[in-house]
Structure 1
């Protein structure tokens, strides 16, 4: 396997630009399949999730072009297959996001039980139950999801837990469903707002209410749209933690304060320093770090994705810190290597 060889110790200093959000790109590409018109994305991250999603979409009929770095043009004139190839579905849990495009374009979706990372169980029960409530015929046979519907209907859906992927999946289903859909106890992460904004550009009608509720009025058709993907707040946090960990000074260009409020508060509580600028955030070390007790939570709490780099940072703090992981049971799998 490939290896990174790191020679240290050294202080990280300088500037780095954050790419587009990993947790946005795959859902945005899936959303582009809801129309047969061209769509364009900028600030596209050059990561495996982008490649894997495009491979799945291409197998279903999507055409795409990359005229320059971080720019992606996609179009799905027609969907040529209602089944996500098994090898692709098993490789990546993102395949479940194909449910809405396949149903809306072909009336049928066949998706093998998804694979993915190993940080914990990510059941799709919330997804499938939502589609049932919207009128789809859902069967699970030998770990393969068979979903059929000529047109989904709006429904009242209350999620047992504010799942990010389930919220996104229901948004994709609801924008072309007949009638009005309510998603209650929904996730409200910045990446979900980014998806909602893109869908609105395409012609969707989506309202966000103050109590974790989205109200979607289904429309007949969507059109193509151009969209700049938001910066990756998890990469931003990792770079910030690395700057403090090495007693360095790093400017993280495109890092956005509004997406990192809780992370920045926690950095300040342990004695870390940062400065907010118009085009990014500077992280720097100028005093000893302090221990603290904290727990991960759903947005706007301290995100589970921020936990690993923050735990590494706390190894350099004075005193004993206590971290309670509440989202994924295996998120501490890396600790043995510390």
Structure 2
């Protein structure tokens, strides 16, 4: 397994452009199955989750090619509705394929999805919504088989504003008879991105970004050329990279309003942040404690930025509290940060961070995607050398992370398992 080796203590500086959003491209790739026409998507991030999703699409019969930063999909005539279990187990987002395959082929067979271990993330909201549209669902032997001769529009109320369930139901409803209403829908920017992508193909969806989304069924979708929104989580991670190293960065191709919950808290911690159209300027300095950071569905503070923020607050003057309201088991970075000298105690959904003057390099494991990114940030500021193992988790959501950080002045390198020195 590959590792990151970091020599910390350097101030990051420079300019970087943010690429397309991981949490947009995965459902959009699934949504491409709803047409038989050519689909072109620009600014696609080169991350392992995208590669897994593309393998799945190829297994279903989609022809795929790249031209620099342009991804070209030719769905044509799909020749199966069954997704290989080996690929489903690699990535939770593969569950998005249920809605499009039901809409296009009227049936689908999947195994339960994998992904990061950040606590229970049941798919019952997906299945409940699809069942209300006339889908017959059979669960047995770790697989879900779903079939519908005709999808019917329905009034669906989500018990929780689940991003995945909202997007899956949206895509299933494209070819349903009549109209579908999703109440208590998730409001994330990536859902708006999916709506815009589908509407550009000829879908009739409105309301994304609000708690009620309406989909009018259509008979077919056409070809499309589409550019993804920038990744707000990658941008937020780099904002903290500047702050934790007392550096100064310029982030281009950013939608500042998507980051307002994050930048407001970081400014509260003493980080200088100012915006200029689609650019963020960030300057780090002395970090102040934050009384309370609470993760919530959008537009609240994103759970995907909780771990990175914790790394920053380990160096704050005073005590800070983070409350994780979205996922159980999402404090997996705590034990690893303690190896680096952090003072953190966890009580249920709350983590209390007592700031220290300096983190120290250590050998740590990346337990999941965002926790792994948090450990990289900690390593950038730590005294001495930090070795991070299990970095395949980080590769799921950050394109060539070490190369980006190298461009900004970090001393970080990727080494293979065969390198006995590490």
Q: CA deviation at 1:100?
A: 2.0
**In the alignment, what sits opposite 2:410?**
none
Distance (Å, rounded) in 2 between the aligned partners of 1:253 and 1:210: 24
Q: Return the TM-score normalized by structure 2.
A: 0.78
After superposition, give the CA deviation of every residue in 1:153-180 in whole Å (9 maximum; x if it has no partner).
Answer: 1001000000000000011011111111
Structure 1 residues 56 and 210: alpha-carbon distance in aligned structure 2, compared to 1, 3 A threshold? closer
Is contact 1:103-1:109 (8 Å) kept?
yes
Unaligned residue ranges in structure 1 (runs of 5+): none
Structure 1 moving runs of 4+ over 4 Å: none
Q: Return the TM-score normalized by structure 1.
A: 0.97
Q: CA deviation at 1:121?
A: 1.2
Q: Are 2:277 and 1:278 aligned?
A: yes
**In the alignment, what sits opposite 2:138?**
139
Find the residue that maps to 1:328 and give its secondary structure. Answer: coil
Q: Give the number of aligned pairs.
A: 337
CA RMSD of aligned residues (A): 1.2
The 5 Å alignment of 1:119-134 reads 119-134=118-133
Q: CA deviation at 1:210?
A: 7.9
**In the alignment, what sits opposite 2:64?**
64
Is contact 1:251-1:282 (8 Å) kept?
yes
**In the alignment, what sits opposite 1:4?**
4
Q: CA deviation at 1:209?
A: 7.3
Distance (Å, rounded) in 1 between the aligned partners of 2:110 and 2:47: 23
Structure 1 residues 103 and 211: alpha-carbon distance in aligned structure 2, compared to 1, 3 A threshold? closer
The 5 Å alignment of 1:289-308 reads 289-308=288-307
**In the alignment, what sits opposite 2:158?**
159
Q: Are 2:33 and 1:25 aligned?
A: no
After superposition, give the CA deviation of every residue in 1:230-263 in whole Å (9 maximum; x if it has no partner).
Answer: 1100000000011011111011111221111111
Is contact 1:103-1:150 (8 Å) kept?
no
Q: CA deviation at 1:107?
A: 1.7
Structure 1 residues 209 and 3: alpha-carbon distance in aligned structure 2, compared to 1, 3 A threshold? closer
**In the alignment, what sits opposite 1:246?**
245
After superposition, give the CA deviation of every residue in 1:134-157 in whole Å (9 maximum; x if it has no partner).
Answer: 001111011211100122110010
Higher relative contact order structure (alpha carbons within 8 Å, sequence separation ≥ 6): 2
Is contact 2:38-2:224 (8 Å) kept?
yes
Q: CA deviation at 1:94?
A: 2.1
Is contact 2:192-2:208 (8 Å) kept?
no
Unaligned residue ranges in structure 2 (runs of 5+): 338-422
